[in-house]
Amino acid sequence: MARTHPSIIRAAFAGLCPRCGARTLFAAPAELAHECANCGLNILSLERGGRFVGVVTMLLALVLILAALAVDEWLRPPLWASLLFWGHMTVGAVIFGLRFYKTMWVYHQYEESQQP
């Protein structure tokens, strides 16, 4: 049964529920809601098993630290500029990484749960 879903990237940005498409998937920027406020889909039970979140965060942080070191070596920016820039980058990338990862996982679980 092939249903049309919004693209994962759009779903991750807007936090779209896999069942009804309402913007109810996230309660906080990187925190999934317990259930969809619109259709009552139990998001918490779909998230179960998706416990690699810590690994994803660590990998992202590692990549960012390496990137920061490379840029530092290359441009030699003033320290305050580095801190400001990488502080924002890290927070943004970690939040988006988690959102993207959680959305992928929930959509995958939702599709599995739809199989007979």
Give residues in contact with Zn ion (CB under 5 A): 17, 19-20, 36, 38-39, 41
**Full 3-state SS string of the chain:** CCCCCCCHHHHHHHCCCCCCCCCCCEEECCEECCECCCCCCEHHHHHCCCCCHHHHHHHHHHHHHHHHHHHHHHHCCCHHHHHHHHHHHHHHHHHHHHHHHHHHHHHHHHHHHHCC
**Shortest distance, CB of residue 60 to Zn ion, whole angstroms?**
28
* Smallest distance, Zn ion to C-beta of residue 99, A: 17
Nearer to Zn ion, 43 or 94 (CB): 43
Please state the closest distance from residue 107 (CB atom) to Zn ion, in A.
12
Q: Which is nearer to Zn ion, 96 or 110 (CB)?
A: 110
- Nearer to Zn ion by C-beta: 38 or 42? 38
